Structure 1
Amino acid sequence: MARKPVKKQLKPLLILDLDETLIHASSTLLRPDFDFQVFHYYVYKRPGLDHFLRACAERFELAIWSSASDDYVAEVVQHIMPPDIPLAFVWGRSRCTLMVAPQIDDFGYYNTDYPSHYEYAKKLRKVRTRGFDLQQVLIVDDTPHKVRNCYGNAIYPTPYLGQLDDEELPILLKYLETLATNENLRSIEKRQWQQRITTSPE
C-alpha cells in the first residue's frame, strides 16, 4: 500500500494529550470549583488553559490525542476547545496501540527486574499516514510510556493533578514559541526543557 504523500503544512502540528496534561478528572470532588462534569468525573482545567489553546492556535495546527475512551475524549473536547479553533483530528483510545510498557526505576532507567504492564501507546506513523511531515509534528503528553515511540517529537510536561498554583502551561507556551518556526522539530533536544525556559534571561 502506497504511503499518502506528505502535504505542505502552513503550520506545525501540535498534538495535545488531555488527562494530567490539559485537565484533571476525578470521580470524587477535589474542591467544589470544578469546571465541568463528564459522565461521573469532575473535571478541572489546568490553570491558563484557555489562553494556552488560543495562543498555540496562532502558531500551530492543533490536534487532540488521548488514551481515554473515545466518547470521553469527545465530551472533554467539547468543553475545553473554543468553537472557532479547528482541530486536525480528535483521537481517543481506538487510535492507540496496546503495548507492554517496561517499568522505569527510581533513576529513570528501564529496569527488567520491575514488573511490566500494558499501556496504550500513541504511534506517530498513524499521523504520518494522514500526510503530516513528522519533522513538523510535536506531541505533548505527561506519560512518557505512551509516546516512547515518538522520540524527537515528544515534550513531557509535569502531570497536572488539580492543584490551583500550577504554572506549567505558561512555561510550556513560552517553550513552544521557541520551536514554532524550526524546519525540523525532531532534531531539537527537548529533555529538561522546563529548566532551560525558567532559567533563560528574558
Structure 2
Amino acid sequence: MTSNLLIFDLDETLVHATTEQLSRPADFEYAPYFVYKRPFLLELLIAAKPLYDFAVWSSSSREYVDAVVEEIFAGFDVKFSWAVERCIQRVDAQSNGYVYIKDLRRVQSHGYPVERITILDDSPEKIARQPRNHVKVKPYYGLEGDQELLAIAEELMVRSKR
C-alpha cells in the first residue's frame, strides 16, 4: 500500500521569518532573517510521523529552504524538499504580481498518487489546482500563544484514515 504524504509549506505555516527581531530571541537565524518556529511544531511532527511521509515545498529560495528544513526537521526523514524552482509562476490578475502554484501532480514522480497527498499551506491560491488536498493553516506571524498546529494535528489524524 502506498504511504500518505504530508507536504509542509514553511513561511507563515511552520515558521515566521522577519528582518526585525520580535520581543523574544529567535529560534535561529538565517541572515538577514530572525526565524521563529511555530508553537507545537515538534508535537505536530511527532503526531504525524506514524501516519505520513514528510516533504517540504516552499516558494522561497533553495538556500533558505535547505537551511530551514535542516533546523526544523532534525531527526525526521524528509522525502524531498522543493523550493521556488519547482513552483509554476503565474501572474495574479488581482495584484498584478506573481503567484507561485504548487501543482501536486508533480509529486507523482515520487510514487505518491495525488489522492494520498495532503499539503499544509497558509496560501490557498498556491494550491488552487488540488483544493481537496489542502489543509489551510492560519498564517503565523510569531505569536507565542498560537495553537493552530494542535488543531491541524487532529485534522491530520482524521484525514489519514480516509
TM-score range, shorter chain: over 0.9
Query: Structure 2 residue aligned with 1:139, among 119, 123, 148?
Result: 119
- 1:1-202 superposed matches below 5 A: 8-9=1-2, 11-83=3-75, 85-103=76-94, 115-182=95-162
Unaligned runs of 5+ in 2: none
Helix, strand or coil: the match of 1:58? coil
Amino acid at match of 1:22: L
Amino acid at match of 1:92: A
Unaligned runs of 5+ in 1: 1-7, 104-114, 183-202
Helix, strand or coil: the match of 1:68? coil
In structure 1, C-alpha distance between the alignment counterparts of 2:104 and 2:134, rounded to whole Å: 10
**Cα gap change, 1:57/1:102 in structure 2, threshold over 3 Å: closer, same or farther?**
farther
Q: CA deviation at 1:134?
A: 0.9
Q: Is the 8 A contact 1:101 1:145 kept in 2?
A: no
Q: Is the 8 A contact 1:12 1:137 kept in 2?
A: yes
Amino acid at match of 1:143: S
Percent identity between the aligned chains?
A: 36
In structure 2, C-alpha distance between the alignment counterparts of 1:51 and 1:151, rounded to whole Å: 25
In the alignment of these two chains, the number of paired residues is 162
RMSD value, Cα: 1.2
**Counting strand residues as a fraction of each chain, which structure ranks higher?**
2
- Which moves more between the two structures, 145-154 or 43-52? 145-154
Amino acid at match of 2:102: K
